Structure 1
Amino acid sequence: MSVPVLLVDDEPLIRTGLRAVIDAEPDLEVVGEAGDGAEVLPLVRQLRPRVVLMDVRMPTVDGIRATTTVLDGVAEPPAVIVITTFEHDDHVYDALRAGATGFLLKRSRPEEIVQAVRIAAQGESLLFPAAIRRLAVRRAAPRRAAPDLTERESEVLRLMAKGRTNAEIGGELFIGVQTVKTHVGNVLAKLGARDRTQAVVFAYESGFVDASR
């Protein structure tokens, strides 16, 4: 079965381009389009996409508000990937804080777009640690109290912030992948984070990981 994808962008030309790229893949399918964030929640409820490609800047309801509405408005929300023109767009950081899985630049190559959709559909986060760190520094995000993590959970979070996969974390800490998954789950629960991306954002905002380095 193909992965259903919803496109949300106020520029018809962008939606047309994204549709052409996604529909060219046998395992992906665009099931709907929206030109503003206000249209997203009803379409998500109706079409049940697994992934939403969401423009971060729209005239009526932007991608940040739309992301929050979708993630809070359905029992099993889709993964949201925000798309933006500029990597250093402050709106991207707000969208990641709101629960977006990751972001794509509108100039991304077709293969990068397709890969991102597939990764998000599998429940994985699109981590770009360097970009998140730069955004955190630019925003000078307010410090937040760090949670009571164990020493091992702290090590895992620091490696997550570096963009390490579960397998890579296991290799560096000499523990099994399943054990890593358990620690990651505990970290997310203690942070109240939806996914790894939110956990990494929290790590920088709390000062747990120094964003200036």
Structure 2
Amino acid sequence: MIVDSHPSMRLALSTLVESHLRMPVVCSAATAEEAYAALLSQRPSIVVTELELGAAHEGAALCRRARSLPLRPRVMVFSGSSSPDQVAAALTSGADSFVHKSASVTELVDAIRQTACGRRVWLLGDTGRRQESDRRRISPLTPLTEREEQILALLLRRYTNDEIARELTLAGQTVKNHVSNILHKVGIRNRRELFLDQSALSA
């Protein structure tokens, strides 16, 4: 299933998938609500979606709803932005892969193929460096709160605890507790591992 608010992008992606991967595109959608209805009726095995579907992060909400299904599809976010906020939204929503729209046709086709096979692919903008993890699945065991998502976005920018505390006007111990909870939820032991798995991001 292809999910994008622009008809031309839906057509281009559908043509690409069917011609290069020989995968049938069973449905497409312009909004998160249309996409969720199609998920229930068509049951696609993989979803390629933009994050911005009329409102901020509606694509992330779609990812979370897809994860709740008994036979959940693989989800690849295909976004025009690879800002830390966007990547954090994809990560915390449980997306399997994240590909920036600057990726070449070859990279995009390979990313869809790898995601369909259960491998994680991270192509973040101009860095052009793919992060795949067969070692573990980096997605929240339980949903992150809105505050935790804010802090995760700052962590991905390499903010220290003190800098996060100043940015969000929080006590240092409160930030420390939030960071510990976030790392636990996404299955990462420490900041070093977080930066290793997100090494394609700039500071």
User: What TM-score, normalized to structure 2?
Assistant: 0.64
What is the total number of aligned residue pairs between the two structures?
Answer: 155
Please provide the CA RMSD for this pair.
Answer: 3.2
**Partner letter of residue 71 of structure 1?**
R
Counterpart secondary structure, 1:82? strand
> CA-to-partner distance for each residue in 1:28-50, whole Å, 9 max, x for gaps?
12111100111222211211111
Provide runs of 4+ in structure 1 moved above 3 Å: 127-136, 139-142, 210-213
Q: Percent identity at matched positions?
A: 22
Q: Is the 8 A contact 2:121 2:130 kept in 1?
A: no
Provide the C-alpha distance between the structure 2 equivalents of 1:91 and 1:146, rounded to a whole number of angstroms. Answer: 17
Deviation at 1:208, TM superposition (A): 5.4
Within a 5 Å distance, the mapping from 1:16-27 to structure 2 comes to: 16-25=11-20, 27=22
In the other structure, the counterpart of 1:100 is 95
1:144 aligns with 2:163: no
1:118, distance to aligned residue in structure 2 (A): 1.1
Q: Aligned partners of 1:43, 1:123: CA distance in 2, in Å?
A: 21
1:109-148 CA-partner distances (Å, limit 9, x unpaired): 222121111111111111469788997432858412488x
Instruction: Return the offset for 1:56.
Output: 0.7
Structure 1: 5+ residue stretches without partners: 1-5, 148-190, 193-197
Distance 1:146 1:40 in 2: 29
SS of equivalent residue, structure 2 residue 193: coil
1:209 aligns with 2:196: no
Going from structure 1 to structure 2, the CA distance change for 1:92 and 1:51 (only over 3 Å counts) comes to same
Q: Distance in 2 between matches of 1:210 and 1:9?
A: 29
Counterpart amino acid of residue 144 in structure 1: S
Would you say the 8 A contact 1:54–1:80 is kept in 2?
yes
Residue equivalent to 1:167: none
Q: TM-score, normalised by structure 1?
A: 0.61
Cα distance in 2 for partners of 1:135, 1:124 equals: 26
In structure 1, distance between residues paired with 2:179 and 2:86: 19
1:9-20 matched pairs, under 5 angstroms? 9-20=4-15
Give the drift of 1:24.
Answer: 0.5
1:67 maps to amino acid: C
Counterpart pick for 2:66 among 57, 64, 70: 70
CA distance in 2 between partners of 1:119 and 1:77 (Å): 17
Give 1:209 shift: 2.7
Shift of 1:52: 0.4
More displaced stretch, 101-110 vs 7-16: 101-110
Residue 47 (structure 1) aligns with: 42
Q: Is the 8 A contact 2:98 2:121 kept in 1?
A: yes
